[in-house]
Chain A
């Protein structure tokens, strides 16, 4: 098959993988179809033969939507995962008084540092897109956007953990500022431990899960664009 046709097929696979979320095995099957279509008609060297073969295959968006629908079981699998985590958190919360887990200064510290830290490197639009792609599975525009999203989420996770440690140090300093003041020890301890808890929760359960989702998407894209000529 001519090189330009292989290149066109590679770009077509990339588009279907990135924008429409198709998996390698689905693309392999569609590619086999397109290649056989070209070979059967013996049009390999005609102008625009590949474009016509892709047109005969049909509207990519519609095919991709139907293929995604045909793997509903996979979606159900993720929903069960989210449900189990939620159930676990709710049952722990019910067994203990909820207010002991609430500390407004720790919460503000985490939210402020994470948003501020991301703001230094990324534009607000990039941050919103990263959340949309990671949490809402919004389709990325291209491979560059996937790579950028991984960067935002990785940085977000680092900032959560860093702020957790920062909160611990702030809390300890607060405790030791006046060792004779017993009430300050309790308050300092709360900040120290709860900031770490919030940091771990936000870093791993929120940013970590989103990062994993995007990483899977990236792996899927990397596998999907490998074309054997």
Chain B
């Protein structure tokens, strides 16, 4: 299980990367992270929302209010997020940084490099 600090530090690139794949909303983003990390990255669910709001304030993501899918949510209000152009650039920079960290550690530990 990842430490609290690592979870906090990785929240930004994770959210940006998920939104790069298309529009999404809080609950779905959390489920996506849980599924992709095999449960290794466990967020306190509610703490994702301040991260989303901060990214929105920085202009890296955009939001709109829509309704939940009729079949699951009965049409209640839901806030959807998508990556902005600025967010795309920020994600590119994040990717470079995280791959640098990954590759340095991989080299030290003798495991295959990424990207």
Q: Which residues of A contact B (CB under 8 A)?
A: 25-26, 28-30, 32-33, 35-37, 39-40, 56-60, 62-63, 66-67, 69-71, 73, 228
Determine chain B's interface SS by DSSP, over half rule.
Answer: helix
Bound: A63/B27 CA distance, A: 15
B45 at the interface (CB under 8 A from A): yes
**Contact status A71-B27, CB under 8 Å:** no
11 pairs, A vs B, C-beta closer than 8 Å: A29-B78, A29-B79, A32-B78, A33-B45, A39-B73, A56-B45, A58-B45, A58-B47, A63-B50, A69-B50, A70-B50
Q: A33 contacts which chain B residues (CB < 8 A)?
A: 26-27, 45-46, 49
Q: Mark B64-102, 1 if CB is under 8 A from A, else 0.
A: 010010001100111100000000000000000000000
On chain B, the number of residues with a Cβ less than 8 Å from chain A's Cβ atoms is 20
Q: A63 contacts which chain B residues (CB < 8 A)?
A: 44, 46-47, 49-50
Q: A25 contacts which chain B residues (CB < 8 A)?
A: 65, 79
Q: Mark B33-63, 1 if CB is under 8 A from A, else 0.
A: 0000000000011110110011001000000
Q: A39 contacts which chain B residues (CB < 8 A)?
A: 72-73
Shortest distance between the CB of B95 and any CB in chain A (Å): 24
**Contact status A70-B57, CB under 8 Å:** yes
With A37-B27, A70-B57, A71-B53 already in contact, the answer to whether A32 and B79 are too (CB < 8 A) is yes
**Contact status A67-B26, CB under 8 Å:** no
Q: B44 contacts which chain A residues (CB < 8 A)?
A: 57-59, 62-63
